[in-house]
């Protein structure tokens, strides 16, 4: 992998990780579309490179929400020491993040091997990208249907039930499939749990921090596996670019979801996924 290719993929990953368009799907499809035949997506060294990019994204999320994360961690420690829960907002959010992280952790450990085999398939990534777009439209439709048929108002993260937090975590776990967006699935799940778009996006981005960080840390031993010869310069530069792109993306999206919804991203995923699926079916990309 050349340095220009590495930086391009880092920029792509940093943006698409938080935009609800699936970073994994794009990391698979874009090199295939560009006919980068020097990159083997199923090779351990490419997986190692992607892992380092995710570390950059996780660090960017920690930096962006550093004050909130400090409050959440301190509140969780206090509640553990105290041995009981309180009405403190940071504590309530923290425990809901803990509950929301558990499902994706369990499902990820169980399903990682079969999912990993899909990593090199452009056809699978394109198909799941179309499904991702449909999921976002379905989430928006069901959310509006709930609002029309019920009088209850939107709730905040701190007022979600633990069952709802776990449900968002389960929705997020579908992002293990290449083409399914982690943020798209978790935001749609949040909408169905009575969060508005801004709160659903906020919960999604907070939930992404431990999930992305833990997944990357679990993959680090693979960096030293036989055949995973990581190019240090490309990886280090890529992590920086991915982190900067992720920081700017979350800054934009937190404002975007104050007044907008998931439908533009849904259209993008359906159109781009359908084009790539057709090209994969006729053998233009693989």
What is the tens place of the pLDDT at every residue in 204-252? 999 988 887 777 777 666 666 665 555 667 778 888 999 999 999 999 9
d(CA 190, CA 269): 20
Report the residue count for the chain.
286
pLDDT in the model for residue 203: 92
Q: Is 70 exceeded by the pLDDT of residue 153?
A: no
Tokens of 79: 């509640």
d(CA 12, CA 99): 30
Question: What value does the mean pLDDT take over residues 95-110?
Answer: 85
pLDDT in the model for residue 227: 59
Question: Is 36 exposed, middle or buried (CB count within 10 Å of its CB: 0-12, 13-18, 19+)?
Answer: middle
d(CA 286, CA 10): 21
Q: Which residues contact 8 (CB under 8 A, 6 or more apart)?
A: none
Dihedral of CA 47/242/98/132: which sign? Answer: negative
Q: What is the pTM of this model?
A: 0.86
Radius of gyration of the chain, Cα coordinates, nearest whole angstrom: 19
Question: What value does the mean pLDDT take over residues 111-118?
Answer: 69
Contact 54, 220 (CB under 8 A): no
């Amino acid at each position: 992998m050349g340095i220009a290719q590495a930086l391009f993929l880092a920029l792509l990953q940093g943006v698409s990780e938080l935009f609800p368009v699936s970073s994994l799907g794009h990391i698979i499809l874009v090199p295939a579309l560009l006919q980068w035949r020097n990159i083997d997506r199923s090779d351990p060294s490419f997986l190692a490179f992607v892992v380092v990019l995710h570390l950059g994204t996780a660090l960017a999320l920690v930096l962006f929400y550093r004050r909130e994360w400090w409050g959440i961690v301190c509140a969780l420690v206090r509640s553990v020491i105290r041995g009981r829960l309180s009405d403190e907002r940071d504590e309530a959010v923290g425990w809901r993040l803990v509950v929301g992280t558990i499902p994706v952790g369990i499902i990820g450990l169980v399903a990682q091997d079969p999912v990993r085999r899909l990593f090199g398939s452009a056809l699978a990534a394109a198909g799941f990208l179309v499904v991702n777009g449909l999921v976002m439209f379905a989430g928006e439709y069901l959310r509006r249907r709930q609002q029309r048929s019920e009088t209850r108002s939107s709730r905040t993260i701190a007022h979600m039930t633990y069952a709802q937090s776990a449900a968002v975590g389960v929705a997020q776990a579908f992002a293990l499939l290449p083409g399914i967006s982690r943020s798209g699935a978790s935001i749609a799940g949040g909408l169905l749990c009575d969060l508005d778009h801004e709160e659903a996006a906020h919960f999604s981005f907070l939930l992404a921090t431990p999930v992305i960080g833990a997944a990357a840390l679990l993959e680090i031993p693979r960096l030293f596996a036989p055949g995973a010869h990581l190019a240090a310069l490309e990886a280090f530069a890529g992590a920086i670019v991915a982190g900067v792109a992720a920081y700017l993306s979350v800054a934009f999206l937190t404002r975007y979801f104050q007044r907008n919804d998931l439908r533009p991203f849904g259209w993008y995923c359906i159109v781009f996924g359908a084009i790539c699926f057709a090209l994969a079916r006729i053998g233009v990309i693989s």
